[in-house]
Amino acid sequence: MIYQLCLAVTRAQKRKILLAIDIMLMVAAFYISMALANGALKGIGPELAHAKIVAAIIGAGVAMTFLFGLHRIKLIAYELQSVVETALVATMMGIAGALVSYATGAGLPMQLFVSMAMIFILLSASVRLAMRKTLQWIYFRGRPRKRLLIYGAGQTGQQLVAALHLDNEVEACAFIDDNATLWAQSIAGLKVFPSTKIREIITDNQIELVVLAMPSASAQVRARISRRLREIGCDVHELPSFAELVVEGEIIKKSEPVELSSFLGRSRLEDQLPGVCDAYQNRRILVTGAGGSIGSELCRQILSCEPSCLILLDHSEHALYNIQREITEIAPDLEVAAVLGSIMEPTLMQETLERFGVDVVLHAAAYKHLPMVENNAIEGMRINVLGTKIVAEAARKANVERLILVSSDKAVRPTSVMGSSKRLAELVIQDLATRSDRTRFSMVRFGNVLGSSGSVIPLFEDQIARGGPVTLTHPKVTRYFMTVSEAVRLVLLAGSFARGGDVFVLDMGKPVPIHKVARQMIESAGYNVRDEENPNGDIEIQITGLRPGEKLHEELLIGSDMLTTPHSKILRAQEGCLSEIEMANALQDIRKAIDLRDQSAIRYALEKWVENAHVDESLQEQIN
């Protein structure tokens, strides 16, 4: 009932109520000061003079109240600044009363008006704070609020308490801080406790959420605290400083590991890579492997080029459905076609290219997980080599403008079936480029894509989430890394630069030690690495030995001859290729080995046709 009455009062009525209360307090302050000084005020003048003084006090007080807008300030916003303004109102009341007393000959001493001003300040502030507390009790009574624990009693934590003081949804209950000088103190109305009592406080106060309000602490320290709190069973969020909140637009967010781009070992290149819209605008574009990591990002970035039609092809129904739904939601007016099928179907590929009048093919469909392809060499060769041949031949017959093959740094001097299959796919494209009158064929070769399926980053994340160990094949392994955005931009640029048979690579700086990445990810998740120097650490980095076909260091170039492109960070490699007859014989050997499911024949064909290929060890394990 009281709650409903409070809600029924209009804003104008609230202002009138506050002004009326202030007027009554002005009168009360005068007569209280009179009563306190009663013994010293005998014979001070007629009552009429008192009435004139009160009128002057009220007039000055009301005028100053309107000037500062004190009657308009909400009770929830009445803080220190408002108290200062109340003091100024009281000062003007005292001055007005003293002047009228002197003019009327009332003879009231100056000390009376000083005490009156002080009494008014005390009464006005006390009444407003009491009203605020009462209204808080009325509004919050019976309304469940999420109980919050703040880790960090510094400036950011105090600002958070002030911001949540009257929040309808969240209630701050206490501070946790590792600074011993703050323990047992009360800051912003909340007690500060040591972190050793955190479990007890969470249980006793039924805490549902913990906010880390310590932006100046290192990422490793915050991650370690977050992990410890999550183990207790709390939802943990991280709060940046309020300066960052205003300047950078940050928000309260769940604590997360560091950005994947921090593993690049160089600056990101997205901003340095130019746009490529002209090569794809108003074109009909087919993306094979559209549901994969690279294929799906290709689809997203192509949208900014405003193609006339986007055809998505993938053999995975679930992956194809997801990317089709995403693209149609982003660009509802774009013509989008989803083709469910395999690149191994020549009829399907030819029909798709001709039916949709495809102008550009971005060929991202491939098997790329090294151990999986090593253990399934025949299927890997079938998809990566023969599948590429089918797509490329169909593109040439359909007079497609250009085809770009997504390749891998593992194609350079390969020691694995996967790497060899990608190099053979490159040779297929290079061969067709020499015999194509209309279609321009090109390839783009890059290293590990951060966060893509099958890459080392998701593997390390899963191992860390399970408590370790983090497995590393060799302590000296290095890899080139790039973001998926960089990889896709490079693919699109390759298409716009292509002249025929080109192999494009990105200048990715120095390779990154995987051991460093593993250590960085462990520490970013809030754990310590357990090793000889720190035997009590949390997670061990375990060396398992190089896998079949794996190299210590990947390369991007087969030879040393390089040509420039319109962009300084993109290079064009000059590499040899097989003749038309050699390519035909190589494909014949591959098809025969696949048909017979002959692992030895696969090994023989790779060693014969792929320059500097050494895959004996990887295939030998399968044969045995």
Grouping H, G, I as helix, E, B as strand and the rest as coil, residue 301 is helix
User: Average of pLDDT values for 269-285?
Assistant: 72
Per-residue pLDDT at 526 exceeds 80: no
Q: What is the 3-state secondary structure (H, E, C) of 404-460?
A: EEEEEHHHCCCCCHHHHHHHHHHHHHHHHHHCCCCCEEEEEEECEECCCCCCHHHHH
User: Average of pLDDT values for 433-462?
Assistant: 80
Per-residue pLDDT at 307 exceeds 90: yes
pLDDT, tens digit, for every residue of 313-335? Answer: 999 999 999 999 999 999 999 99
Instruction: Share the mean pLDDT of the chain.
Output: 79
Q: Give the lowest-confidence range in 191-205, 276-290, 392-406, 505-519.
A: 505-519
Residue 620 has a CB neighbour count (10 Å cut-off) of: 13
Query: Cα(448)–Cα(451) distance, rounded to whole angstroms?
Result: 9
Per-residue pLDDT at 491 exceeds 50: yes
pLDDT-derived band at 47, boundaries 50, 70, 90: low
pLDDT, tens digit, for every residue of 565-611? Answer: 766 677 787 777 888 899 999 999 999 999 999 888 888 888 888 87
For the CA atoms of the chain, what is the radius of gyration? 38
User: Average of pLDDT values for 247-262?
Assistant: 50
Structure tokens at 256: 């997360």
pLDDT at 619: 43
Burial of 23 (0-12, 13-18, 19+ CB in 10 A): middle
pLDDT-derived band at 130, boundaries 50, 70, 90: confident
Per-residue pLDDT at 99 exceeds 70: yes
Q: Which structural domains are found in the chain, ordered by start?
A: 2-140 (no CATH), 146-256 (3.40.50.720), 270-619 (3.40.50.720)
pLDDT at 326: 93
Per-residue pLDDT at 41 exceeds 50: no
pLDDT at 98: 83
Per-residue pLDDT at 308 exceeds 60: yes
pLDDT-derived band at 3, boundaries 50, 70, 90: very low
Per-residue pLDDT at 438 exceeds 70: yes
pLDDT, tens digit, for every residue of 229-245? Answer: 777 777 788 777 655 55
Q: Inter-axis angle of helices 580-596 and 417-434, to 10 degrees?
A: 140
Tell me the backbone φ, ψ of residue 614, rounded to 5 degrees. -140, 95
Burial of 11 (0-12, 13-18, 19+ CB in 10 A): exposed
pLDDT, tens digit, for every residue of 207-216? Answer: 878 888 887 7
pLDDT at 622: 41
Per-residue pLDDT at 45 exceeds 50: no
Per-residue pLDDT at 532 exceeds 60: yes
User: Is the distance from CB of 508 to CB of 481 less than 8 angstroms?
Assistant: yes
User: Is the distance from CB of 364 to CB of 289 less than 8 angstroms?
Assistant: yes
Which comes out higher in pLDDT, residue 117 or 337? 337
Per-residue pLDDT at 33 exceeds 70: yes
Query: Cα(349)–Cα(388) distance, rounded to whole angstroms?
Result: 11
pLDDT, tens digit, for every residue of 176-206? Answer: 888 888 887 888 778 888 888 888 888 888 8
Which comes out higher in pLDDT, residue 352 or 554? 352
Which comes out higher in pLDDT, residue 69 or 49? 69
pLDDT, tens digit, for every residue of 541-552? Answer: 989 888 776 777
